Amino acid sequence: MSVFSLTYGGFQRPRLALRLIFGAAIFGAAVLTIVSPAFAELGGDASSVQADQAAMQASLRTTTAQAYTIHEIQAPTGIVVREYVSPTSGKVFGVAWQGPWPPEMRQILGNYFAQYQQAAQANTHAGRRPLAIQQPGLVVHAGGHMRSFAGQAYIPGMLPQGVSAETIR
C-alpha cells in the first residue's frame, strides 16, 4: 500500500489522494499569500507605503512631524505598523508594531532581516523575556504574549537630527 493512496469504499484511490494533497498545498500557499501582509521595509523607500496599504486592504493614516513622517497602516487582522520616514532621504528609519501576533519580520526588516536573525539566535534571552538587540547598525526591541505583541526597530545612523529613539513607538 502506497503512502499516496486513499481507500474509499473498499477501493484504493491513489489519484484522489494526490489531488487532495496538491489541493491542500495550493490552498495553504494561497492562504499564506493573503494573510501575510506587506509593509515598507526598514531602510527602504517610502514610496511603497501606498502599495502596501492596497495589498493589505488596510487603512493608512499619515502624520507629519517636524523631522519625520509617520505612516500608520492598520490591517483588518488587527496588526498596526507605524513606519517612520525621513523627509530629507525619503527612507524608512524606524518601524514600530503592535497587534495580536508579530508581523512578518522578514518583510518589515527587509535587508536587515539576516542581521536581526543572527543577533536573535545569538541572544541568550530565555523564556518569556523581551528580545533586545542593540547593535551599531540595528536596534530591535520586541516582546509580548499571546494576542498582544509589540516592538520597534530602527537604524541608529538614519535617525534624523533631533529625533530620539524613544520617538519610535
Which has the higher per-residue pLDDT, 52 or 134? 134
pLDDT over 60 at 6, yes or no = no
Q: Which residue has the cell 489541493?
A: 23
Q: Please state, as a whole number, how many other Cβ atoms lie within 10 Å of the Cβ of residue 72.
A: 16
Instruction: Give residue 109's pLDDT.
Output: 93
Kindly report the average pLDDT of the chain as a whole number: 80
pLDDT over 60 at 19, yes or no = no
Terminus-to-terminus CA distance in the chain, angstroms?
A: 57
89-114: average pLDDT: 93
104-133: average pLDDT: 87
Instruction: Give residue 129's pLDDT.
Output: 83
- The pLDDT confidence band at residue 25, using thresholds 50, 70 and 90, is very low
Instruction: Give residue 29's pLDDT.
Output: 38
DSSP per-residue string spanning 123-147: ----TTPPEEEEETTEEEEEEEETT
Judge if pTM exceeds 0.85. Answer: no
pLDDT over 80 at 132, yes or no = yes
pLDDT (tens digit, 9 = 90+) per residue, 38-68?
566 899 888 877 766 776 778 999 999 989 9
For 17, 18, 106, 149, the CA distances from 101, given in Å and listed in that order, are: 34, 33, 14, 5
